[in-house]
């Protein structure tokens, strides 16, 4: 009997400790989120958006991100979505590459030669993503889900989330499929459930404190597949966009409050 | 070749909260690059805060501060429209400054 009480007490203390840890992590996040260096990247992204580049020496200011040519307000909150001119579903980064090709006359190879940057030299897409996402702050996340290709993309993303692949036979759900799990300090959100997807998606892209970089959702997909030991996914491929589409759609309704901060 | 800075200064009850973001590599001089060569020290040494032209804070900081630092501090008093200027000087002699009015 005594032993049982002791065990129960221990279990209680354990739960309280876990709760305390979660609270401390939350407090750390809030401290870091105040005055996020992501804002510095937004400023540089705006300069880049307005900078004439490519063989045609034009800026991206006439780029149509879905809300009309050059409209930035709310554009990110409504991506990914179907684009008639490209006849496919695109996320922000894929669409930006499309504009670099069609407006600025750059080749796809040239536009995607360096999609993920470093702390010393952020990539164009990272800076642009920070700036454009910031223009949707406070707006509800509502990616396109009405066009048949949007529905197909969502369904593909959902299937991919649970699809086990690669030498280690991993799926997204292998790590993000069970509640209450974490790796070191990082909890692993169950991203196919809205209550977990909402706060996460609403803060991407984000400034990563440990690497001093702005990281994007395309980077996240790429790096998750790297950790799963699959061949590297193609930047802006149907697969990566479908996964981003599925995750974003799962988070729909949440007010966008990024670019955020990551550990 | 300094990157952008950003500052907010908000008036409270008898005080002003200031938060300033700055772009800087803040190299410690201990890190090695991909070729194994030491990356030379490069960090902000001095930070100066002026209110309406009068220096109120002179700070010395070191390599221990992270890349792209954020500084936040509270000043006594202040009034809407007061000009706050924050500037830094690094060990290469580079400087950058930003000015904003208290809101």
Band (pLDDT 50/70/90 cuts) for residue A14 is: low
pLDDT digits (tens, 9 = 90+) for A223-241: 999 999 999 999 999 999 9
> Do A4 and A44 have their domain in common?
no
Search chain B and give the residue with CA nearest A45.
B4
Confidence of residue B1 (pLDDT cuts 50, 70, 90): very low
Cβ–Cβ of A44/B67 closer than 8 Å?
no
Q: Does the beta-carbon distance from A119 to B25 stay under 8 Å?
A: yes
Q: Are A30 and A84 within one domain?
A: no
- Check whether residue A5 and residue A88 sit in a common domain: no
* Average pLDDT, integer, range A90-115: 95
Based on the domain organization, do A7 and A93 belong to the same domain? no
A196: domain CATH number? Answer: 1.10.760.10
Residues A98 and A203 in one domain: yes
Confidence band of A182 (pLDDT split at 50, 70, 90): confident
**Domain count of chain A?**
2
Q: Catalytic residue at A224?
A: yes
Say whether both A73 and A40 belong to one domain.
Answer: yes
Its CATH class, for the domain covering B5-101, is mainly beta
Asked if A166 and A196 sit in the same domain, the reply is yes
User: Looking at residue A33, what is its pLDDT?
Assistant: 67
Per-residue model confidence (pLDDT) at position A197: 95
pTM here?
0.85
Q: Please give the average per-residue pLDDT across A193-216, as a whole number.
A: 93
The verdict on A8 and A57 lying in the same domain is no
Structure tokens at A192: 């196919």
- CB contact A210 to B (< 8 Å): no
Average pLDDT, chain B: 91
pLDDT band of residue A24 (cuts 50, 70, 90) is: confident
Give the Cβ contact number of residue B62 at 10 Å: 12
Average pLDDT on A153-181 reads 95
User: Please, which pLDDT band fits residue A183 given cuts at 50, 70 and 90?
Assistant: confident
What pLDDT is recorded for position A27?
78
Query: What is the distance between the alpha carbons of residues A255 and A249, in angstroms, rounded to a whole number?
Result: 13
Q: What is the average pLDDT value for chain A, to the nearest integer?
A: 90
As for the ipTM of the complex, it is 0.80
pLDDT > 90: percent of chain A: 76
Q: Is A109 on the interface with B (CB under 8 A)?
A: no
Q: Could you give the CA distance from residue B84 to residue B72 in angstroms, rounded to a whole number?
A: 13
- Averaged pLDDT for residues B67-88: 91
Please tell me whether residues A25 and A43 are part of one structural domain: no
For residue A10, give its domain range: 1-34
Q: Answer yes or no: do B21 and A39 touch at CB < 8 A.
A: yes
Do both A47 and A2 map to the same domain?
no
B97 min Cα distance to partner chain A (Å): 14
Q: Do B25 and A120 make contact, defined as CB atoms within 8 angstroms?
A: yes
Together in a domain, A155 and A239: yes
Q: Are residues A6 and A117 both part of a single domain?
A: no
pLDDT at residue A2 greater than cutoff 60:
no
Q: Examine the pLDDT at A12 and tell me if it is beyond 80.
A: no
Share of residues in chain A with pLDDT > 70 (%): 92
What number is the average pLDDT over the span A150-174? 95
Q: Where are the domains of chain B?
A: 5-101
- The answer to whether A234 and A142 are in contact (CB under 8 A) is no
């Amino acid at each position: 009997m005594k032993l049982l009480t002791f065990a129960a007490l221990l279990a209680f203390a354990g739960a309280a400790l876990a709760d305390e840890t979660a609270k401390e992590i939350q407090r750390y996040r809030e401290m870091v989120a105040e005055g996020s260096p992501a804002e510095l990247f937004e400023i540089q992204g705006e300069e880049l958006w307005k900078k004439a580049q490519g063989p045609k020496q034009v800026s991206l200011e006439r780029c149509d991100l879905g809300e009309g040519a050059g409209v930035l307000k709310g554009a990110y909150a409504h991506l990914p979505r179907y684009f008639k001119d490209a006849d496919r579903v695109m996320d922000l980064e894929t669409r930006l590459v499309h504009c670099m090709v069609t407006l600025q006359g750059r080749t796809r190879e040239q536009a995607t030669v360096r999609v993920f940057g470093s702390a010393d030299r952020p990539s164009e897409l990272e800076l642009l993503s920070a700036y454009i996402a910031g223009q949707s702050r406070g707006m509800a996340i509502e990616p396109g889900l009405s066009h048949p290709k949007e529905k197909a993309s969502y369904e593909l993303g959902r299937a991919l989330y649970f699809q086990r692949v690669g030498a280690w036979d991993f799926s997204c759900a292998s790590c993000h499929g069970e509640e209450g799990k974490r790796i070191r300090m990082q909890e692993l959100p169950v991203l196919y459930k809205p209550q977990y997807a909402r706060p996460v998606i609403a803060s991407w892209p984000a400034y990563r404190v440990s690497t001093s970089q702005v990281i994007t959702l395309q980077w996240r997909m790429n790096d998750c597949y790297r950790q799963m030991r699959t061949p590297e996914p193609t930047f802006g491929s149907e697969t990566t966009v479908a996964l981003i589409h599925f995750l974003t759609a799962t988070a729909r309704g949440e007010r966008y409050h990024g670019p955020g901060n990551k550990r | 070749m300094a990157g952008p800075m950003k500052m907010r200064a908000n008036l409270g009850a008898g005080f002003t909260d200031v938060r300033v973001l700055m772009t800087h590599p803040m190299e410690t001089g201990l890190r090695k690059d991909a070729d194994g060569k030491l990356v030379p020290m490069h960090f902000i040494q001095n930070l100066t805060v002026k209110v309406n032209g009068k220096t109120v804070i002179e700070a010395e900081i070191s390599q221990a501060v992270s890349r792209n630092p954020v500084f936040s501090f509270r000043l006594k008093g202040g009034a809407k429209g007061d000009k706050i200027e924050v500037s830094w000087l690094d060990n290469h002699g580079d400087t950058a400054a930003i000015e904003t009015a208290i809101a």
